[in-house]
């Protein structure tokens, strides 16, 4: 018998299990977890009995919120570094290098321990978004490895023009290229020949727009702004930017309970309405420019006022996509104290919402993954 050291489950050595997937999910922000969750939900919708093992340090409440009705186990594992953040908008290269030196991506005792734990799950296929360790484990176990990405870390590291990062980038690039199936989600930073390209991937909203507005005490024709920017507290909001008149502000993460009928409406980080539902209910979202936010706003038809990430190479690709597909504007760095912010937000609120669904790449990505899984049998 084999004991899984993370889940405590016991299995016969080498016993095959159909419908078991392992996911290695980068904890760099929550965008990778959001995208992976959308695809995991798609897989379980098409194949309800499938079981998922998630390897990441992303907190369980995030997946509990995103994966209702999905069979999954969460393994607390630091499986990726990505870029260490000095602030939400700035990266720390030196701290990133120290973290990379301590991570056993494709060898060493820690890596072999992970290999044994993955093998004990009966896993037949490993999906990586975009943690290279998952693909290295897949190669070690001779099971197919699927890569889901709109960029990879070797591409990111090259943009910093630092020879120390370049060494790690070359090593990770070789691992990324080992994927049996590569799925690129729009907007793609570096198209790769032979990869499958799908539409932007986001979690789906579960509540109708006006249903959530009613719960929050917001009229159907009210103007609702979602402030999805970490690091702000209620006092800062009161002292900061003057939001346009006749608007109601929803601010997740600055309260311990839902507070309808007040402005701002304060919502806890976990336990309140899911983020895709908040985006769908809003007319305008204020957020850092990141993949999951862009994809959710794109599908919801809302407007976006965004904060740039000056050095991060993905940022200009996302910005170009946003400019083409979403009513949007960049905010100044000092947006919270800048009087011009009020005018920018007001102009975006005056733009009519786009109605009608857009294709979500979660389902095509799930189909590709399940096809690769079926190829094992």
**Domain identity same for 340 and 305:** yes
Residue 236 pLDDT > 80: no
For residue 197, which phi and psi values (nearest 5 degrees)? -105, 130
pLDDT at 1: 36
365 and 307, same domain (yes or no): no
Distance CA 269, CA 328 (A): 25
Identify the domain containing residue 103 by its residue range.
2-201+361-374
88 in the same domain as 164 = yes
Which residue carries 């093998």 as its tokens? 119
Strand partners, 366: none
pLDDT over 50 at 10, yes or no: no
Q: Do residues 317 and 267 share a domain?
A: yes
Total of domains in the chain = 2
Q: What is the pTM of this model?
A: 0.90
Which band of pLDDT confidence, cut at 50, 70 and 90, is reported for residue 12? Answer: very low
Residues 142 and 224 in one domain: no
Is the same domain home to 17 and 129? yes
- Residue 232: inside a domain, yes or no? yes
User: Is the distance from CB of 346 to CB of 244 less than 8 angstroms?
Assistant: yes
Helix (H) or strand (E) holding 197: strand 196-198
The CATH number given to whatever domain includes residue 157 is: 3.40.50.2000
Residue with tokens 């038809």: 301
The rounded Cα 309 to chain-centroid distance in angstroms is: 16
CB 346 within 8 A of CB 192: no
Token pair recorded at residue 135 = 């693909």
User: Alpha-carbon Rg of the chain, whole angstroms?
Assistant: 21
**Strand positions, DSSP E, 240-334:** 247-252, 265-267, 284-288, 303-307, 328-330
CA 43/CA 293 separation, integer angstroms: 22
Interatomic CA distance for residues 46 and 220, integer angstroms: 34
Taking only the tens place, the pLDDT of each residue in 121-166 is 999 999 999 999 999 999 999 999 999 999 999 999 999 999 999 9
Residues 164 and 222 placed together within one structural domain of the fold: no
Structure tokens at 325: 């597909």
Same domain for 369 and 319? no
pLDDT of 286 reads 95
Same domain, 113 and 262: no
Shared domain check, 160 and 105: yes
- Res. 29: pLDDT tops 70: yes
């Amino acid at each position: 018998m084999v004991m899984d050291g993370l889940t405590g489950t016991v299995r016969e050595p080498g016993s095959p299990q159909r419908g078991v997937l392992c996911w290695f999910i980068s904890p760099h922000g929550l965008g990778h977890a959001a995208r992976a969750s959308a695809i995991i939900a798609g897989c379980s919708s098409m194949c309800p009995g499938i079981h998922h093992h998630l390897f990441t340090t992303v907190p369980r409440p995030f997946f509990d919120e995103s994966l209702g009705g999905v069979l999954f186990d969460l393994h607390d594992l630091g499986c990726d570094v990505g870029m260490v953040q000095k602030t939400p908008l700035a990266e720390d290269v030196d701290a990133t290098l120290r973290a990379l030196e301590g991570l056993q991506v494709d060898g060493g005792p820690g890596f072999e321990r992970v290999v044994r734990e993955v093998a004990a799950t009966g896993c037949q296929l490993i999906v990586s978004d975009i943690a290279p360790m998952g693909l290295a484990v897949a190669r070690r176990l001779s099971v197919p490895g699927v890569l889901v990405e709109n960029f990879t870390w070797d591409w990111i590291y090259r943009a910093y023009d630092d020879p120390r990062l370049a060494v790690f980038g070359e090593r990770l690039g070789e691992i990324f290229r080992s994927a049996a199936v590569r799925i690129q989600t729009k907007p793609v930073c570096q198209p790769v020949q032979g990869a499958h390209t799908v539409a932007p991937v986001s979690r789906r909203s579960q509540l109708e727009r006006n249903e959530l507005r009613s719960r929050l005490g917001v009229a159907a024709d009210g103007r609702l702004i979602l402030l999805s920017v970490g690091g702000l507290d209620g006092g800062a909001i009161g002292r900061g930017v003057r939001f346009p008149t006749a608007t109601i502000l929803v601010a997740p993460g600055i309260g311990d309970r839902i507070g309808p009928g007040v402005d701002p409406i304060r919502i806890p980080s976990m336990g309140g309405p899911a983020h895709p539902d908040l985006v769908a209910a809003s007319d305008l979202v204020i957020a850092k420019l990141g993949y999951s936010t862009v994809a959710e706003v794109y599908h919801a038809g809302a407007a976006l006022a965004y904060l740039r990430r000056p050095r991060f190479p993905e940022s200009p690709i996302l910005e170009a996509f946003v400019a083409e597909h979403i009513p949007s504007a960049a905010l100044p760095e000092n947006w919270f104290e800048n009087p011009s912010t009020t005018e920018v937000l007001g102009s975006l609120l005056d733009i009519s919402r786009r109605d009608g669904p857009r294709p979500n790449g979660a389902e095509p990505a799930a189909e590709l993954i399940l096809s690769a899984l079926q190829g094992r049998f």
